[in-house]
Structure 1
Amino acid sequence: MSADPNPLDTWKHAQWERFCQLSAATLITYEFIIQFGNEVELFWKKRWSVGKALFLWSRYYSLCFNIGNAVVFMHKPTLDICGNFFHWQNAGATLQLLTTHIILMLRLYAMYQGDKRVLAFMVILLFGEAATMGVFIGVNKPGLVGTNEPIPGLLICADGDPPGEHWIAYYFTAILTIEFALLALSLNKAWRHYRTGSGGGVMALLTRDSVLYFLAMFWTYVLNQVIWLMNRITLNELATGFSFSICAVLANRLMINVRESYYSGNAPEVVEFEIGESRPVRFRRTRATTISRNTNFELETFDHRRGY
């Protein structure tokens, strides 16, 4: 952990952190407001399901979590408040991250049409991620810095790795590893669809949104990784707020977009025309479904009768 040689830079960096945390909370609040209508129509008015419960948990938990973080950074906290905050932030961020990755894994499971090998691989990834995150937030490595006053007179929750060492920085290394694996699965499926021209409208939407999510979040986590490797105590939290809020916003949008696409094309079209004196030829256009199996996973059948 290092501090800026110039105290004025330290004050400036602390202000940057405050503004970034406030901006992240503003972003997720704005998204909550503009998508509230879709939330009511596509989720609250539908029957309860695994997907509905997962969406509502992710949406409201991430909103409260990010606003809570911003509130702490905007005040002048005591040392006890900062100590409790770091425990809350680490545990809360891990819970949000696991929730988001479950949503993404369900999307990938749907994209791969219920492939059990892909499911087994993702379950292993999920449990491995949970265990790794537990080690990073549960093991109190000697030398970790957590303070409410990084320099005299500056009151802000600031934390860092031990001087000349890295520990929390590896937290983002683990996240990047998982994100890279999920991105590879998504890109692989997108490439297959591109080469074969297969997959309906919903499958194309799943592929597009999943790839865009992984590309956006991968670079967000890379930014956090670089910042924590630099290990400036008043810069370490600069981008954490955006990594929390953007991943929640994009994951929630994945679920909203698929439901919106499905329910907007709920009624099949029938086209009728006559050939000579023959009886009418009728073509029935039905919306594309990704998976025909009747399971409990969200978006495998897109069955409106089950509230999906």
Structure 2
Amino acid sequence: MASAAEAAQEALLKQLFVLLEDARTTAAISLAGLTIIVFDHISTFADEVELIWKTRLSLINIFYVWIRYFTLVTLTANVVFLLTPQTQQSLVVSTVHIIGTTVADLSGLKSCQRMLFGEMATSTVTIISTDLVLVARVWILYSKPKGLLIALLTLVSLEAISMSIVGYFTIRPLREFVHAGSHLTGCYSLGMVIQVSVGPKSRSPEVPRLFTYYSLPVLIIAVIMFLMTLYKCGTNYLAMGSLQRMPLFSMFLRDGVLWFLFLLADCVSEFVIWSRARPTLAQTPVIFPTAIISVIGTRVIMNIKHALNDTDFGSSSYGTSLTLPTGLETSTGTGSGSYSDRRPSKRSADNSPWYLRTT
């Protein structure tokens, strides 16, 4: 009997060492994501000042500022929490309880559950915000029909609802968390690490496999947006015979392909980790991909702003009418007039609603 108890404790200690290693891995990857965000802020700040802060208020500017700074603030808070040991003695599961393998009257770390909910919610908000940028791009490509806008916004709304439901029902059952002093940072459900025994009864480990479906709506939206972009740019390419004569379409296609490839790789990796990997790695594909998605979203917006200020875009002919948010139209024709010749008059621009302005 004694040898069986010793073997159980030894197995439990091995599980705890695995948890500590996974916690360090999660913290390192999350810190790398925050580093990318900070580096992107520094490297693009000059362009941000010229193209965002020195231009008039517009919806595209609001989206840029919101995605950029909301992500910076929330990811910073999440990373700080992941790097901080949870040491509230009145609310923690003690190391003695864990080593003994018998846990009774466990108290959940309310701050841990709130942190996990906050991490899920802020990641969802960032993803939905960048998906709205995708919606705007596709809407512009198709000359801004009202019906298409309603359909795309409905899809994104369903995406947000489904992601929130999956996240809520994944995190809600997690009420008991491991405490190992200063050796363990962040929050990890006790059931992810060991099978908890309470008296003669035994509970199965809390494995958040439901989170496997969290990225599925993101992938569905990405596929729809990518196929619509590919179809529109492809039909215009067949009509014109060259993307060089359609620089705006070329830019939209390039950004769309890069965006889709990253989201595809991200969603596949999340699916594998959340369905097959150790539960203690569940937080690994959260902060880092959110940071990359935020960077891609703001870079896409910046590319659109650059395009509107680039005279090269006005010196080409286009296979179809492309109505931009400013009211600027690059229409079918063979003329090679300059961008400034086609720019709306100052009086016309001043009469435009503020949310349609970009300069």
Q: Is the pair's TM-score, using the shorter chain for normalization, greater than 0.5?
A: yes
1:22-37 counterparts in 2 under 5 A? 22-37=31-46
Q: Is residue 358 of structure 2 the alignment partner of residue 307 of structure 1?
A: yes
Distance 1:96 1:106 in 2: 16
Pick from 299, 312, 324 the counterpart of residue 253 of structure 1. Answer: 299
Distance 2:262 2:56 in 1: 32
Which residue of the partner structure matches residue 9 of structure 1? 18
User: Would the alpha carbon gap of residues 298 and 177 (structure 1) be closer, same or farther in structure 2, given more than 3 Å must change?
Assistant: farther
Q: Is residue 238 of structure 2 the alignment partner of residue 170 of structure 1?
A: no
TM-score, structure 2 as length reference = 0.70
Distance 1:86 1:148 in 2: 14
Q: Aligned AA for 1:58?
A: I
1:130-169 counterparts in 2 under 5 A? 130-139=160-169, 143-144=173-174, 147-149=177-179, 154-158=184-188, 163=206, 166-169=209-212
Q: CA deviation at 1:244?
A: 0.5
Q: How many residues align?
A: 287
Distance 1:48 1:32 in 2: 20
SS in 1 for 2:280: coil
1:192-203 counterparts in 2 under 5 A? 192-197=235-240, 200-203=246-249
Q: CA deviation at 1:153?
A: 5.4
Q: Is residue 267 of structure 2 the alignment partner of residue 221 of structure 1?
A: yes
SS in 2 for 1:147: coil
Q: CA deviation at 1:28?
A: 0.7
Q: CA deviation at 1:299?
A: 8.0
Q: Is residue 186 of structure 2 the alignment partner of residue 186 of structure 1?
A: no
Gaps of 5+ in 2: 1-11, 88-108, 193-204, 331-342, 350-356
Distance 1:99 1:220 in 2: 17
Which residue of the partner structure matches residue 59 of structure 1? 68
Distance 1:22 1:266 in 2: 39
Pick the structure with greater CA Rg: 2
Which residue of the partner structure matches residue 85 of structure 1? 115
Please tell me whether the aligned partners of residues 66 and 241 of structure 1 are also in contact (alpha carbons under 8 angstroms): yes
Distance 1:164 1:158 in 2: 11
Q: CA deviation at 1:4?
A: 9.9
Distance 1:137 1:300 in 2: 41
Distance 2:257 2:209 in 1: 31
Q: Aligned AA for 1:156?
A: G
Pick from 35, 52, 56 the counterpart of residue 47 of structure 1. Answer: 56
Which residue of the partner structure matches residue 271 of structure 1? none
Q: CA deviation at 1:182?
A: 2.0
Q: Aligned AA for 1:118?
A: L
Q: What's the CA shift string for 1:14-71, capped at 9, x where partnerless?
A: 1111110000000011001101111110111111011111111111111112222211
Which residue of the partner structure matches residue 99 of structure 2? none
1:108-147 counterparts in 2 under 5 A? 108-139=138-169, 143-144=173-174, 147=177
Distance 2:177 2:328 in 1: 48
User: Would the alpha carbon gap of residues 261 and 141 (structure 1) be closer, same or farther in structure 2, given more than 3 Å must change?
Assistant: closer
SS in 2 for 1:234: helix
Distance 1:118 1:140 in 2: 33
Distance 1:299 1:251 in 2: 22
SS in 2 for 1:177: helix
Pick from 237, 240, 243 the counterpart of residue 283 of structure 2. Answer: 237
Distance 2:177 2:232 in 1: 46
Q: CA deviation at 1:127?
A: 1.7
Pick 1 or 2: higher relative contact order, CA cutoff 8 A, min separation 6: 1
Q: Is residue 256 of structure 2 the alignment partner of residue 210 of structure 1?
A: yes
Q: Is residue 27 of structure 2 the alignment partner of residue 18 of structure 1?
A: yes
Please tell me whether the aligned partners of residues 233 and 249 of structure 2 are also in contact (alpha carbons under 8 angstroms): no
Q: Is residue 77 of structure 2 the alignment partner of residue 68 of structure 1?
A: yes
Q: Higher mean Cα deviation, 68-77 or 108-117? A: 108-117
Please tell me whether the aligned partners of residues 110 and 291 of structure 1 are also in contact (alpha carbons under 8 angstroms): yes
Q: CA deviation at 1:206?
A: 1.4
Gaps of 5+ in 1: 269-284
User: Would the alpha carbon gap of residues 4 and 250 (structure 1) be closer, same or farther in structure 2, given more than 3 Å must change?
Assistant: farther
Identity %: 23
Distance 2:116 2:326 in 1: 34
Distance 1:150 1:170 in 2: 31
Q: Name the structure with the higher helix share.
A: 2
Aligned-residue Cα RMSD (Å) equals 3.2
